[in-house]
Amino acid sequence: MNPLLMKVIIISVGIHVIAGFIAGIITVANIVIQEETQFEEPPAVVEEEPPPPVKVQIKPQQPKQQPSQRLTMRPVANIAVANVDVNLPDMDQSFTVSAGLGGIGGGQLIGGTRGNIGMGMSDISVFGLKSRAERVLFVIDANKRMLEDKKGGMNSYNVIKDEIVDMVGNLSAGTLFNVAFYDYGRLKFFRPNTVPAGTEIKAELAKWAAPINADYKDLKLKDTTKPKLQDIGESEVKAAMTGAQYASGNELTYLTQVFLEQSIDAVFVITGSHQGFQRIIRPANEREKAEWQRVTSKPDYQKKLAAHKAEQAEMKKRVAAEMKRVNAARAKKGLPPKVIANNAAGALGLKWKNPHPGRGPRYYIEVNHIERYFKEVIKALYEDEGAQPPSINVVLFLAGDESYSEEREKNLKRYVRFFGGKSRVIRGQDEIKNARSSKNTQN
């Protein structure tokens, strides 16, 4: 290596070392070594005496009296609610709340077919038939057949009324109910719409129901209505059941649609005659009317019909005389007057000298067609509105020895099964007393 270059490097390194040493000394002198801190003497403090104590008396304020407000209550069913259609989010089970369907029981949210969210759900038991519902309709047959001797007369009928009144008294406060009596398509409703259950309403119901079929001299259902059915498409079924009530099947079909239009969850029917859906009589068409007209215009038919009409006044007197004799004998035994539901002459064993020559052939609508019609009714009133159709439950009250064929009972079971309900046949006064179940049903 060049000796001259080595000398230059050594000299340069030495100069940098000396310069760094001098800079370090200056830094230590300016930062680390500081001048001694100088403190100023604080000013003299002059002591002053504290001011004399001041006593202040504070009186507690009396609480202000709020003006009392008088609270008033209105029945929920009387509060008008606008039409609502609210789809709530899915939870454990989905449901829909919306306004009523209309008809006899509709028109308000509280009485509609929807809104079943369990707030007023009640356990219901009528003569052993059980269900759960928020809106329930109880229906009692008011026909004279319910008061026949072999069924226990008025004693048994009072048991039926008491069973319904007790069940209403044991419903939850939020449960809505109504009660109706019926006789050949004429109905008498406790209220125009369903109403909330409660102690006061139970007493009103008992007072309202007490006079019905309570007087042997006056066994008519008064102040009745025959509701107009809603239009569920064109159907010969509706045409048959809204015309003259030709037979019990027509009456039952009509009443079934009335029940469905009440915007309820369950129906309990107590009746003395029920064999489910059966063939119903339809009106004759023009051709059939013409054929029957030819029969009735014949001289032989006209002669027999005239003789029968002439005997009607005499038969009425014979029936009255026989009833008077029968009831006098019953009175001596301490029994009430005899009640005859239909065909008094036949029930008393009286024969016509000139029987009626015939009222013409009957033309029927078959059961399958009737069931198809009611599927349309259920769809229109419930399923299309997002609601469950009501169950229909039937208690059939018969006399102890009254005939009831297996075929009729099979039809009854088919009817209640169609509506998701149950049925029970009860016979006689003792059995209906022992079958009571509403009094012990708690909610």
Domains of the chain, earliest start first:
89-282+366-376+388-440 (3.40.50.410), 287-347 (no CATH)
- Calpha distance 346→318 (Å, rounded): 12
pLDDT at res. 31: 59
In the predicted structure, residue 342 carries a pLDDT above the cut 90: no
Q: Which of 58-67, 80-89, 316-325, 364-373 has the lowest mean pLDDT?
A: 80-89
What pLDDT sits at residue 437? 93
pLDDT confidence bin for 382, thresholds 50/70/90: very high
Residue 167 has what pLDDT? 96
* 3-class state of residue 395 by DSSP: strand
Q: What is the percent of the chain with per-residue pLDDT over 70, rounded to a whole number?
A: 77
Which of 51, 121, 117, 125 is CA-nearest to residue 87? Answer: 117
Rounded Cα distance, 81 and 324, in Å: 58
What is the rounded average pLDDT of the residues 296-323?
94
| pLDDT at res. 258 | 95
23-40 average pLDDT score: 57
pLDDT of residue 1: 59
* Mean pLDDT, residues 95-108 taken together: 35
Predicted local distance difference test score (pLDDT) of residue 302 = 95
- Half-sphere exposure of residue 277: CA atoms within 13 angstroms, side-chain side: 22
As a whole-number percent, the residues of the chain with pLDDT over 90 amount to: 53
Q: Show the tokens assigned to 318.
A: 């014979």
Q: Where do the H-state alpha helices sit in 197-235?
A: 199-209
For the cut 80, the answer to whether the pLDDT of residue 106 exceeds it is: no
Instruction: List C-alpha distances in Å: 426 to 138, 251, 401, 407, 435.
Output: 17, 22, 11, 17, 8
Question: What is the rounded CA–CA span in Å between residue 194 and residue 260?
Answer: 13
Q: What is the pLDDT of residue 142?
A: 95
pTM to 2 decimal places = 0.71
Region 139-150: mean pLDDT is 93
116 dihedral zone (left: phi>0; alpha: psi -120 to 50; beta): beta
**Phi then psi dihedrals of residue 125, to 5 deg:** -145, 115
Read off the DSSP letter of residue 212: T
412 burial type by CB count under 10 A (0-12 exposed, 13-18 middle, 19+ buried): buried
SS3 432: helix
Is residue 216 within 8 A of residue 204, CB to CB? The reply is no
Q: What is the pLDDT of residues 175-197, one digit of tens each?
A: 999 999 999 889 999 999 999 99
Of 68-77, 201-210, 296-305, 338-347, give the lowest mean pLDDT range.
68-77
Question: Comparing 2 with 411, which gets the higher pLDDT?
Answer: 411
R_g of the chain computed on alpha carbons: 45
DSSP structure class, residue 225? B
Backbone φ and ψ for 189, nearest 5 degrees, come out as -95, 145
Distance CA 265, CA 96 (A): 15
Which residues, 6 or more positions from 12, have their beta carbon under 8 angstroms from its beta carbon? none
Share the mean pLDDT of the chain.
81
Amino acid residing at 76: V
74: confidence class by pLDDT, cuts 50, 70, 90? very low
What H or E segment, with its residue span, contains residue 299? Answer: helix 299-332
3-state secondary structure of 367: helix
pLDDT at 291: 95
163 or 61: which leads in pLDDT:
163
In this prediction, residue 274 has a pLDDT band, given cuts at 50, 70 and 90, of: very high
